[in-house]
Amino acid sequence: MKYIDEYRDPDIVRRVAAKIRDSVTRQWSIMEICGGQTHAIMKYNLTELLPPEITLIHGPGCPVCVTPLEKIDKALVLASIEGTILASFGDMMRVPGTSSDLLRAKAEGADVRVVYSPLDALKTAIANPERKVVFFAIGFETTAPANALALIQAARMELSNFFLLSSHVLVPPAIRAILSSEDTSIDGLLAPGHVCTVTGYDDYIDLASEFNLPVAVTGFEPIDILHGILTTVQMLESGRNEVENCYSRSVNREGNPHALKTMYDVFEVCDRQWRGIGLIPGSGLAIRDKYSAFDAEKHFTLNNIVSKEPEICIAGAVLRGTARPSDCPAFGISCTPEHPLGAPMVSSEGACAAYYHYKSQH
């Protein structure tokens, strides 16, 4: 398959891996920010190809994992309201709320529907004018523009039965929070290729100079990831704290101005709670006042919902990169993909689930 197979070619993989081995002279810890990258690293077990000097730290870039418990609980309440349809991306279905998840709510009679796009949710609203349709809008800068577009269309069509439960988050503020914490040991970053496709990478240039570390904008295929690691190692070894774009077939420095304009037309930056990490200032996107009629949190009464995360789960440390999933006492024992205690065990992009599926369960 064109544009896929080339980036999984075993000969090139071997050559890039050999170059990494040749370039490295000391221990380096590199964080891949995006959950899609974590998934690919585990799926192809790329760590097996890396020299022992390289430690990969799995970052917070799984949108499902970082969606705060409170939002899940709110989604569950919305789903339980008679006459409401809750539309969600598939991998949110199993994420545990305080006492249930959307799959269970569905089994108990709630009308919860898996959609592939917010526009599918919009179509559901158009087809069911007597029902209220809430789309559970999660994700980073990658999904926010499309969700914004759905709201703009709903406004244009003057729909009064379409709402977003918005839980959008922004990557750079979270990385800043992680790099600022005392227990961090990150030497270099693989920036998330899809997010940078939308946003460009100026923010990462700021991060590189602020924290004196190199950043490689990196894609998601095995060769993309190894190329990102190689570039980061070369910058580390030569003491260059710069940003290099290793995913130029998708990313340019400016990003996608149309997508950004759409996103900021509907959303504005707000403080946001991250599951397992806590409140990060300026790290979320909230629906602007001019679109507040479509904001599920304003239309429905949800203010009284306050949630608390289970204490045993070390999701926070895993998402900050200070612990590995297998460091958790619950990993593979009381916390499995069938009975996840924390969100990183749910999504295939979550570090815990990726470890469980592809590495070792104990």
92 part of the interface to another protein, by CB under 8 A: yes
46 part of the interface to another protein, by CB under 8 A: yes
* CA 176 and chain centroid, separation: 16
Q: Kindly state the tokens that stand for 360.
A: 């070792």
Total residues binding another protein (CB under 8 A):
42
For another protein, the closer CB: 42 or 251:
42
Among 19, 100, 114, 305, binds another protein (CB under 8 A): 114
49 part of the interface to another protein, by CB under 8 A: yes
For another protein, the closer CB: 34 or 76:
34
Among 24, 33, 54, 64, binds another protein (CB under 8 A): 64
Which residues are CB-neighbours of 113 under 8 A, at least 6 positions away? 85, 86, 87, 88, 121, 124
315 part of the interface to another protein, by CB under 8 A: no
Locus of tokens 């990313």: 251
Cα dihedral sign for 153, 156, 159, 162?
positive
For another protein, the closer CB: 158 or 338:
338
Alpha helices per DSSP H over 200-345: 202-211, 222-237, 257-266, 296-299, 315-320
- DSSP one-letter string for 40-61: HHHHTTGGGGS-TTEEEEEEEE
138 part of the interface to another protein, by CB under 8 A: yes
147 part of the interface to another protein, by CB under 8 A: no
Sheet hosting strand 28-34, strand order edge to edge: 54-61, 28-34, 188-192, 215-218, 243-245
Among 26, 99, 116, 311, binds another protein (CB under 8 A): 116
For another protein, the closer CB: 46 or 287:
46
From the CB of 89, what's the least distance to another protein, in Å?
4
User: Which 3 state secondary structure label does DSSP give 262?
Assistant: helix
Site for another protein in 253-292 (CB under 8 A): none
User: Which 3 state secondary structure label does DSSP give 263?
Assistant: helix
From the CB of 31, what's the least distance to another protein, in Å?
19
Segment lying near another protein (by CB under 8 A), choices 139-147, 173-181, 229-237, 325-333: 139-147
Running DSSP on this structure, what letter comes out for residue 331? B
Site for another protein in 331-350 (CB under 8 A): 336-338, 347-349
1 part of the interface to another protein, by CB under 8 A: yes
Burial (0-12, 13-18, 19+ Cβ within 10 Å), 68: buried
For another protein, the closer CB: 167 or 232:
167
- DSSP one-letter string for 100-164: --HHHHHHTT-EEEE-SSHHHHHHHHHH-TTSEEEEEEEESTTTHHHHHHHHHHHHHTT-SSEEE
Segment lying near another protein (by CB under 8 A), choices 84-92, 163-171, 209-217, 320-328: 84-92
From the CB of 75, what's the least distance to another protein, in Å?
14
Locus of tokens 């069911």: 128
Q: Which residues bind another protein (CB under 8 A)?
A: 1, 4, 8, 10, 13-14, 36, 42-46, 48-49, 63-64, 89-94, 103, 114, 116, 138-139, 142-143, 194, 222, 336-338, 347-349, 356-360
